Chains A and B, each alone.
Chain A
Amino acid sequence: MTVMEQRGGYRPSPPPAWQPRTDPAPLLPDAEPYRVLGTEAAAKADPALLRRLYAELVRGRRYNVQATALTKQGRLAVYPSSTGQEACQVAAALALEDRDWLFPSYRDTLAAVARGLDPVQALTLLRGDWHTGYDPHEHRVAPLCTPLATQLPHAVGLAHAARLKGDDVVALAMVGDGGSSEGDFHEALNFAAVWQAPVVFLVQNNGFAISVPLAKQTAAPSLAHKAVGYGMPGRLVDGNDAAAVHEVVTDAVRRAREGGGPTLIEAITYRIDAHTNADDATRYRGDTEVEAWRAHDPIALLEHELTERGLLDDDAIRAARDTAETMAADLRERMNQDPVLDPMDLFAHVYAEPTGQLREQQAQLQAELHAEQEGGH
């Protein structure tokens, strides 16, 4: 019946079904990034864990330095360094159990290495001898992902599948501040929350998407606030405080494992190096800013805390550095060997069985290779 037909009997009423679906207040991130080092919370942190984080940070920094050097020597096609972000990389990897899965972006090779992946295999993509140099199942590390945020829905799907199978598995997906603008970021978070998938999203807000600062990326109060719109908690953490990142990620992983659903974590950090070796950061940022962040270095922060409290002596520092040097020497030596390439591999894994046309092209390449050899190359 229309209003007209009711002849004045119509009474306006509120929308029939609407009610607030969830209370947004508990989902909101804290006003300040959570910190442990230099605060009262540090006293409660496990000294053994802090020492382990320290050793991993030292090794991680050395890895970044070595990989950058290998790029300058032409051994890597490109290296997107995580120098300055080692706390996020290492703490995220250590917060996971063996059976959990890590979904890294291209800047997260260190997280993959911290999870146990062979450093040479982790650099295969960046050396350019194949796209993914490892079996993802071996350490539960998904292929390093170049198209931004596209690995996030994979993490959600994998976590969802694990839960459907009754497995006690959590997926941790890493993304940057630039990646948070992508549509896949939105879709992944939405699916995760609707499905209550056991997944944790770790945004490393390192200040820049290549050259574009966060202010041009989003008008959100913080990236962590975006969580509220999806109905999941958002957490802000000092991304250079390894103890804090480890605690926040561990809490989120536990929550996911216990059926509490996904969490979005924004770690505030800084990309000390340029985007890659091919980038010139002086075109878009000043030294003052970089120096301010160098003073908030993740290794220095943790080393200071540990030495102040007598938890780390010179021997332990030397031991950590020696371990890092051994890793770097091994990486240098193995990366200085030319990879063995077989051009016929190009056709090996396009399909389970090559199609007729691929077999023809394979034969063509084979003939070309023979001709090259015959030609005295």
Chain B
Amino acid sequence: MTTVALKPATMAQALTRALRDAMAADPTVHVMGEDVGTLGGVFRVTDGLAKEFGEDRCTDTPLAEAGILGTAVGMAMYGLRPVVEMQFDAFAYPAFEQLISHVSRMRNRTRGAMPLPLTIRVPYGGGIGGVEHHSDSSEAYYMATPGLHVVTPATVADAYGLLRAAIASDDPVVFLEPKRLYWSKDSWNPEHPTDVEPIGRAVVRRPGRSATLVTYGPSVPVCLEAAEAARAEGWDLEVVDLRSLVPFDDETVCASVRRTGRAVVVHESGGFGGPGGEIAARVTERCFHHLEAPVLRVAGFDIPYPPPMLERHHLPGVDRILDAVGRLQWEAES
């Protein structure tokens, strides 16, 4: 039996490795976007791919997001498997018409004759001191569009496993990369990458008995930190990392809430019309008789994303999460 050597790797490195392995395994996989070739992407996620696979496989496109996604649709129609990089969350908006009117519904409109196996990578979320238009949490828009899968990793291993699964999927996948976790490190063996993770499965990151924190992407480490801090208050919090917003894993989430009887949904995206409302509703509809308190939400404020010097007031942090946990009607238990 050999011991697998685990090394610290960043999420960005795991994503690069996933792209490289997918391109090596399947000649129809094409990476395209702004600055993805010579530069290797502004976050260096496509570093080295143009050199290894040539510029026809990792292509610097003109600076036009609708054109990037629109041409990727045509490439997918001809049997390629494009992986598109949108440079930043808010720069993906010009591509929304292609995304909503074509990407999400080509399979449906053609009765399955023309599926579009394409992956749209979107660095998203705040916390990196970005100036205006560089920190949006745009997942609610994608979730509201039938026909798309919406996936977001929170760990280095998941970044690899979920991106491989996204590229292998015959459905279009919006792959949301939490920007502030790009440089997060984890013990991971890049020589023997972990298995491809199935899309649509949430995972319990930290087991607990008192209440469930339902979260995803950049808020997962924050929730884990909050769970540690909560021990001092006598709360043993469970943390569920959704990993996939569409399809939504009701089973894992509800199993956890039925065990704990309390739930707080945590995300950076605004609360009004945000993912938390949908999640709270689903939990309430399915677990009403197990709930000791209303499902609460800890979300970003319902404001345009703030300037970098003020963003710490906007982002859900440990204190705001613990405050919400404190409001879960504990007195009723005694």
Contacts and interface: CB of A to CB of B under 8 A. Distances in A.
Q: Do A and B bind each other?
A: yes
Interface of A: 130-132, 135-137, 142-143, 147, 150, 152-162, 164-165, 171, 183-184, 187-188, 190-191, 194, 345, 348-352, 355-357
B248 A357 contact: yes
A191 B67 contact: yes
Contacts, number: 137
16 contacts: A130-B111, A132-B111, A136-B110, A154-B74, A157-B70, A157-B76, A158-B77, A161-B80, A164-B30, A190-B67, A191-B61, A348-B111, A349-B112, A350-B108, A356-B247, A356-B251
B73 A153 contact: yes
Contacts of A345: 111
B107 A351 contact: yes
> How many interface residues does chain B have, given as a range?
35 or more
B230 interface: no
B67 A349 contact: no
A130 B169 CA distance: 25
Contacts of B66: 153, 183-184, 187
Contact of A190 (B62, B170, B200): B62
B213 interface: no
A191 B107 contact: no
B79 A161 contact: yes
Given A156-B70, A160-B74, 8 more contacts: A131-B109, A155-B74, A156-B71, A158-B77, A187-B64, A349-B107, A350-B107, A355-B247
A183 B65 CA distance: 11
B248 A356 contact: yes
Contact of B71 (A157, A162, A351): A157
A154 B147 contact: no
Contacts of A184: 66-67, 70, 97-98
Nearest to B170: A352
A349 B116 CA distance: 12
A164 B170 CA distance: 21
Interface in B88-143: 94, 97-98, 101-102, 105-115
A301 B140 CA distance: 56
A143 to B, nearest CB: 6
B149 interface: yes
Contact of A355 (B73, B114, B200): B200
B247 A158 contact: no
Contacts of A187: 62, 64, 66-67, 70
Given A147-B97, A153-B74, A357-B248, A348 B102 contact: no
A355 B77 CA distance: 23
Interface string B47-61: 000000000100001
Given A191-B61, A355-B247, A154 B111 contact: no
B246 interface: yes
A351 B73 contact: no
B220 interface: no
B75 interface: yes
Contact of B114 (A136, A156, A160, A164): A136
B238 interface: no
Contacts of B71: 153-154, 156-157, 160, 188, 191
A160 B71 CA distance: 8
Top 8 nearest A-B pairs (CB, nearest first) are A157-B74, A153-B70, A187-B67, A157-B71, A131-B109, A161-B78, A158-B74, A355-B247
A153 B102 CA distance: 11
Contact of B101 (A132, A147, A152, A194): A147
Contacts of B78: 157-158, 161-162, 165
Nearest to B112: A349
A164 B66 CA distance: 21
B159 interface: no
A28 B64 CA distance: 25
Contacts of A351: 107, 147, 149, 171
B146 interface: yes
Interface in B247-286: 247-248, 250-251
A194 B62 contact: yes
A350 B76 CA distance: 17
Contacts of B149: 351
Nearest to B282: A357
Of the listed residues B66, B78, B106, the one surrounded by the most CB atoms of chain A closer than 10 A to its CB is B78
B200 to A, nearest CB: 7
B107 A157 contact: no
Of the listed residues B80, B108, B112, B246, the one surrounded by the most CB atoms of chain A closer than 10 A to its CB is B108
Contact of B70 (A142, A154, A352): A154
A131 B69 CA distance: 21
B72 interface: yes
A132 B146 CA distance: 18
Contacts of A194: 62
B167 to A, nearest CB: 14
Contacts of B94: 183
Given A191-B67, A349-B107, A137 B171 contact: no
A142 B112 CA distance: 14
Contacts of B171: 351-352
Contacts of A142: 77
Contact of B109 (A132, A159, A352, A355): A132
A150 B108 contact: no
Contacts of A190: 62, 64, 67
Given A351-B149, A352-B170, A352-B171, A150 B101 contact: yes
B230 to A, nearest CB: 31
Contacts of A156: 70-71, 74
Contacts of B79: 161, 165
A157 B72 contact: yes
B61 A136 contact: no
A372 to B, nearest CB: 24
Contacts of A191: 61-62, 64, 67, 71
A220 to B, nearest CB: 20
A311 B94 CA distance: 53
A355 B169 CA distance: 14
Contact of A152 (B70, B112, B114): B70
A272 B33 CA distance: 43
